[in-house]
Amino acid sequence: MGGRLDTRIQFLSKAQVDDGLRREDVYQPHGQKVWASKEDASADEVFRAGQDATHLVARFRVKKTAFTSSITAAHRLRSGAQEFEILGIKEVSGRGRILEITAIAKVSA
């Protein structure tokens, strides 16, 4: 994976919105956008209940900061128009200054 942090990503956190009639969970921007490198890991087609969807698995690398260290699998991230669920976060071997985030996005066919 290249080390170039050339993609802007936005982390998202879950919030509950109440419009007076119902409560709904939505994901809203969390903190500032950060620079990341992105590598597509795989794209798998899944067929369930007559629907087909493509799942895109990607790995994002970000600089380790107090903010990025606070990100968990409960958050999501947005890269361009795609929203990703975070599957896992680990420190990349070396000096411990880089975090690797594995995430999955569902893309309707």
Instruction: List pLDDT tens digits, range 90-105.
Output: 998 777 799 999 999 9
- With beta carbons less than 8 A apart as the criterion, state whether 98 and 92 touch: yes
Q: At 108, which helix (H) or strand (E)?
A: strand 98-108
> What is the reported pLDDT for 60?
96
Domain holding 41, by residue range, is: 7-108
Between 33 and 49, residue with greater pLDDT: 33
**Total structural domains within the chain:** 1
Domain CATH for 90: 2.40.10.370
- Is residue 33 one of the residues assigned to a domain? yes
41-49 contacts: CB < 8 A, separation 24 or more? Answer: 41/102, 45/109
- Is residue 85 one of the residues assigned to a domain? yes
Q: Which two tokens stand for residue 12?
A: 């998202």
- Is residue 44 one of the residues assigned to a domain? yes
User: Which of 17, 5, 2 is CA-nearest to residue 79?
Assistant: 5
Residue 69, SS3 per DSSP: helix
Full-model pTM: 0.81
Average pLDDT of the chain, as a whole number? 86
- Is residue 71 one of the residues assigned to a domain? yes
- Is residue 1 one of the residues assigned to a domain? no
pLDDT higher than 80, residue 109: no
pLDDT higher than 70, residue 24: yes
Question: DSSP states of 36-53 as a string?
Answer: EEEEEEEEEEEEETTEEE
